[in-house]
């Protein structure tokens, strides 16, 4: 049974780099609010971390669960969610850190929006040494977020259409209301778009996501993170086109025309492929540039008409 006290489980899916994990844990301990519980799900890591975390926690209770076998990133995210025993839960990536206000800002937001499924926020982008860095993809996202000084409400056709113009929700910032998730978590068939797929499915079911202006998260960009690797080999773009095609069909069935048209155009994906194509050409990686050119002109997100109503 979920607790009635408004408390957040900070769940960390962990696989490797115990030193970065230690930094993440210290950011949890630095929270201005004490209304949190810490859970670490070790995905059969080659680097056991429990002894180091024991020393950092210094007697403060937490849970360290180790999978018997490696489940993979998305399945381990889902285990974090299923093992959480509080009303609210967030997935702190093991190489990132929380701002000190994370817990207090999210609990405050859920008081204002008790029916929201998730609260997302802004993030500072940091590099390997925890210092702020410039990130072009994150700079561009600023222009995709609906322009307002107030909280952002994503709901229904217009909410999904806004998100499909460019996924401006930074997934690890999201704090979830587990009481509204009803066991529906991330789809493990995806490696890159599992977050957008989940947000879209929940919006299609009538749920709401709220964006707050506070910067509550510190997201680490480095060349070895999953997004960088999957951009380099184009797997992220293949997944994005496939997801947009699915969503074009699903939104057509619901007569959500704004979201359907946005999914069919898949403009943000094509622009991103084009940006990487330009970088390839400047670096004289002509084979990579040709592969990306083919992606732009051969992929589409038209709905499958046989599933239309």
Count of the separate structural domains present in the chain: 2
Residue pair 45/16 in contact by the 8 Å Cβ criterion = yes
Each residue of 161-181: pLDDT tens digit?
Answer: 999 999 999 999 999 999 999
CATH number of the domain residue 68 falls in: 3.90.550.10
Dmax (CA) of the chain: 60
CA distance 43 to 237: 26
pLDDT band at 106 (very low <50, low <70, confident <90, very high): very high
Domain hosting residue 241, numbered range: 233-307
pLDDT of 305 over the 50 cut: no
**172 and 191 co-located in one domain:** yes
Question: Does residue 2 lie within any of the structural domains?
Answer: no
**214 and 254 co-located in one domain:** no
Q: Which residue has the tokens 């609906």?
A: 146
Sign of the CA dihedral with 195 first, then 198, 203, and 208 last:
negative
Taking residue 263's Cβ as centre, other Cβ atoms within 10 Å add up to 26
Each residue of 136-163: pLDDT tens digit?
Answer: 666 667 777 777 779 999 999 999 999 9
Question: Does residue 168 lie within any of the structural domains?
Answer: yes
Question: Does residue 147 lie within any of the structural domains?
Answer: yes
Strand partners, 98: 217
The residues, any chain, with a CB within 8 Å of residue 122's CB and separated by 6 or more, are 170, 173, 212, 213, 214, 215, 216, 217
**241 and 120 co-located in one domain:** no
Q: Look at residues 202, 227, 252 and tell me which one is the last residue of a structural domain.
A: 227
Q: Count how many Cα atoms sit within 13 Å of the Cα of residue 25 in the half-sphere of its side chain.
A: 27
CA distance 57 to 40: 12
The residues, any chain, with a CB within 8 Å of residue 195's CB and separated by 6 or more, are 167, 169, 171, 186
Among the listed ranges 35-44, 198-207, 216-225, 271-280, which one has the minimum average pLDDT value? 271-280
Residue pair 23/92 in contact by the 8 Å Cβ criterion = no
pLDDT at 53: 97
Query: What is the length of the chain?
Result: 309
pLDDT at 304: 46
**116 and 12 co-located in one domain:** yes
Q: What is the mean pLDDT of residues 77-87?
A: 96
- How does DSSP classify residue 132? B
Question: Does residue 14 lie within any of the structural domains?
Answer: yes
**38 and 159 co-located in one domain:** yes
CA distance 62 to 16: 19
**38 and 90 co-located in one domain:** yes
**117 and 261 co-located in one domain:** no
**148 and 279 co-located in one domain:** no
Of 60, 58, 55, 49, nearest to 12 by C-alpha is: 49
Tokens of 77: 């995210």
The residues, any chain, with a CB within 8 Å of residue 62's CB and separated by 6 or more, are 37, 38, 39, 40, 53
**107 and 254 co-located in one domain:** no
**237 and 221 co-located in one domain:** no
Q: Look at residues 227, 259, 278 and tell me which one is the last residue of a structural domain.
A: 227
Residue pair 8/39 in contact by the 8 Å Cβ criterion = no
pLDDT of 240 over the 50 cut: yes
**In whole numbers, what is the pLDDT of the chain averaged over residues?**
88
pLDDT of 31 over the 70 cut: yes
What percent of the chain has pLDDT above 90? Answer: 67
CA distance 45 to 68: 10
């Amino acid at each position: 049974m979920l607790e009635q006290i408004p408390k957040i489980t900070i769940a960390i899916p962990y696989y490797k780099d115990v030193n970065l994990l230690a930094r993440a844990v210290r950011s949890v301990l630095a929270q201005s609010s004490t209304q949190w519980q810490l859970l670490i799900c070790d995905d059969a890591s080659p680097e056991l971390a429990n002894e180091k975390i024991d020393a950092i926690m210094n007697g403060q209770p937490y849970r360290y669960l180790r999978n018997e076998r490696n489940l993979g990133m998305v399945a381990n995210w889902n285990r974090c969610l299923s093992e959480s025993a509080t009303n609210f839960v967030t997935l702190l990536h093991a190489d990132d850190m929380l701002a000190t206000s994370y817990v207090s800002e999210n609990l405050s937001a859920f008081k204002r929006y008790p029916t929201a499924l998730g609260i997302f926020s802004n993030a500072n982008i940091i590099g390997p040494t925890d210092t702020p860095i410039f990130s072009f993809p994150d700079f561009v996202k600023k222009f995709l977020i609906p322009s307002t000084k107030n909280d952002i409400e994503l709901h229904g056709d217009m909410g999904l259409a806004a998100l499909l113009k460019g996924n401006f929700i930074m997934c690890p910032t999201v704090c979830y209301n587990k009481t509204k998730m009803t066991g529906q978590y991330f789809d493990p068939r995806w490696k890159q778009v599992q977050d957008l797929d989940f947000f879209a499915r929940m919006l299609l079911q009538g749920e709401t996501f709220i964006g707050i202006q506070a910067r509550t998260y510190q997201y680490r960009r480095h060349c070895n993170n999953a997004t960088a690797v999957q951009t380099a080999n184009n797997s992220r773009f293949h997944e994005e086109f496939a997801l947009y095609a699915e969503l074009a069909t699903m939104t057509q069935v619901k007569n959500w025309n704004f979201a359907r048209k946005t999914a069919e155009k898949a403009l943000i994906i094509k622009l991103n492929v084009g940006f990487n194509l330009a970088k390839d050409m400047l670096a004289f990686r002509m084979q990579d540039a040709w592969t990306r050119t083919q992606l732009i002109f051969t992929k589409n997100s038209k709905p499958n008409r046989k599933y239309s109503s």
